Amino acid sequence: MASVQLVKKAVTVPPTVRTLASGVPRAPLIDFRARAAGHGDHAHHHGSAGPRSDAPSKVFGSVFQSPSSGLVAKVRTTAPVTGVFQQRLLHTTPAVRDAPQVPDFTPYEAKDESTNRSLAYLMIGSMGIISASVAQSTVTEFLKTMSASADVLAMAKVEVDINSIPEGKNVIIKWRGKPVFIRHRTQDEIEEARSTDWKSLRDPQPDEDRTKKPDWLVMLGVCTHLGCVPIGEAGDFGGWFCPCHGSHYDISGRIRKGPAPTNLEVPQYEINEAEGKLVIG
């Protein structure tokens, strides 16, 4: 007995309907044309063919050609029940409206269009005014936190009574946490400071640039080397001497000898000789 072998073969069936490049469906073997009903003999009476074979059954209505009034469509409004039928005994018929999903807003609409618009813009403007004001004060208050507080400003200036300092004496006061030297220089010291050949110094600076009044020398008492406080009326040049590493400053506070790189710093100050006051800061 010959064994039966089932072979599955994929067969490519040519499509019965395809679409032409123009988009028109083409089915070469199927006749889609509607045939006239009741003319099995295919008599050629195309003028009055009667109802079409694919026309809906007369149960629902029909379209036919009347000899007197041309093409007539009849639709039965009370079509007889065709399938399973359940009678709905309760129903309401809502009023037909243009857009049934949208509620009626007429009671809420503004009575006056322009008043409504102006009110909306007034509200927008007021909101803008308040937010702009808030933003402005936020920025200013934030910037104010960066400025110096009142206690710092109170400590920023120091007033000294210069009438109480005799000639040829040093006074050391504290200003912003640092010592400040004030020297009432004698005439000899002024001449000595001004006659020095300052161009050859390490940090060349004339005495005229370092003092506002030649009698009064005001400078920060911090050695420019490593920040010690120099000792007054000491050193090789009759000025200041730093004990830490041996820097010598002259009577104008200029560095003359030792490791310090620059002259003693001169702070901002004002001298009011009429009232005998010296304001540092």
Query: Which residues in this chain contact other proteins in the complex, by CB under 8 A?
Result: 112, 114-115, 117-119, 121-122, 125, 128-130, 132-133, 136-137
The nearest distance, CB 143 to other proteins, in angstroms, is: 15
Residue 257 has φ and ψ, to the nearest 5°, of: -160, 145
Which is closer to other proteins, CB of 17 or CB of 132?
A: 132
Residue from 231, 235, 228 nearest 260 by CA? 228
Tokens 């409504």, residue located: 116
**Using the 8-state DSSP alphabet, how is residue 33 labeled?**
P
> In degrees to the nearest 10, what's the CA dihedral of 271, 274, 275, 277?
20
- Is the dihedral angle over the CA atoms 268, 269, 270, 273 positive or is it negative? negative
Which is closer to other proteins, CB of 37 or CB of 132?
A: 132
Which is closer to other proteins, CB of 106 or CB of 114?
A: 114
The nearest distance, CB 157 to other proteins, in angstroms, is: 22
The nearest distance, CB 154 to other proteins, in angstroms, is: 16
The nearest distance, CB 190 to other proteins, in angstroms, is: 40
The nearest distance, CB 197 to other proteins, in angstroms, is: 54
The CA angle 276-277-281, to the nearest 5 degrees, is 160
Q: Which two tokens stand for residue 148?
A: 């110096």
Check: CB of residue 270 under 8 Å from CB of residue 236.
no
The nearest distance, CB 139 to other proteins, in angstroms, is: 12
248 assigned to active site: no
Which is closer to other proteins, CB of 12 or CB of 140?
A: 140
Which is closer to other proteins, CB of 117 or CB of 174?
A: 117
Residue 162's identity, in one-letter code, is I
Catalytic residue from among 44, 91, 184, 245 = 245
Residue from 193, 213, 212 nearest 263 by CA? 193
Could you give the CA distance from residue 206 to residue 85 in angstroms, rounded to a whole number? 120
Residue 52 Cα distances to 38, 39, 46, 57, 83, angstroms: 9, 11, 12, 10, 25
Which is closer to other proteins, CB of 129 or CB of 172?
A: 129
Residues 6+ apart with CB under 8 A from 62: 51, 55, 56, 73, 74
Would you name the residues annotated as active-site residues? 245
